Amino acid sequence: MGKKADKTSQAQKILQTAFHCLSRKGYANVSMRDIADEAGVALSQLHYYYKSKEGLFIEVIKKMMQQYLHEVEDKLKSTPNTKEKIASLVKYFNELIRKKPELLKLFIDFTAQSLWLPSFRKQLKNLFSDLSEMIEKSILSGAAINKNLVEYSSKSVAKLVLGALYGTSIQIMLDPEEEKTFDSLDMIGMILN
């Protein structure tokens, strides 16, 4: 049993290192050798545990997805009514940009890569789908929404909200020094009310 625990911890160490390398440097600037060197393991160990670069990065995407889904779910569960849930979600993206920009950069980077790599596309499509569904069920289910949006399905409105939060966050990341760009995040709540 000790060997299995060692294998798991070694695989987790590699995964954690890959997550940190990718969130700091980006997909295009990280090699398997970089990850092996930083993890203090032989390059062959990366291939032993994850078979390929793509296999390792898919595991990093899954780790990122779990973190996003868990954090968003916690934010939505911690507030009782629709208006507060929307404000909480906006606050989450605001804090993500300010306190955990590496997680958002990783999300953006993998989104871009998913346009070219089918295996990444599947993972990111699932993440967007899960986040939209979470918004739909937690915020839009039975909520009174803006009268201009009534004719649209709650699924479509949830995708709009997620897209607005994500797209606005990208714009802010491009110009984080301009404090007024954060105002655009606050306006997203007005879309629904």
Q: What is the pLDDT of residues 19-50, one digit of tens each?
A: 999 989 998 899 999 999 999 999 999 989 99
CB 57 within 8 A of CB 36: no
The residue to which tokens 């060692």 are assigned? 6
In tens, the pLDDT along 94-114 reads: 888 889 888 888 889 999 999
Gap between the Cα atoms of 144 and 24, Å rounded = 41
> Same structural domain for residues 132 and 105?
yes
> Same structural domain for residues 35 and 71?
no
> Same structural domain for residues 99 and 159?
yes
Any idea of the CA torsion for 8, 12, 14, 15, to the nearest 10 degrees? 130
Q: What Rg, from alpha-carbon coordinates, does the chain have?
A: 19
> Same structural domain for residues 44 and 66?
no
CB 184 within 8 A of CB 171: yes
Question: Which pTM was predicted?
Answer: 0.82
Gap between the Cα atoms of 71 and 124, Å rounded = 17
pLDDT at 145: 60
Gap between the Cα atoms of 49 and 14, Å rounded = 9
State which residues form the domain around 18: 1-51
| Domain membership flag for residue 26 | yes
Find the CATH number of the domain harbouring 22.
Answer: 1.10.10.60
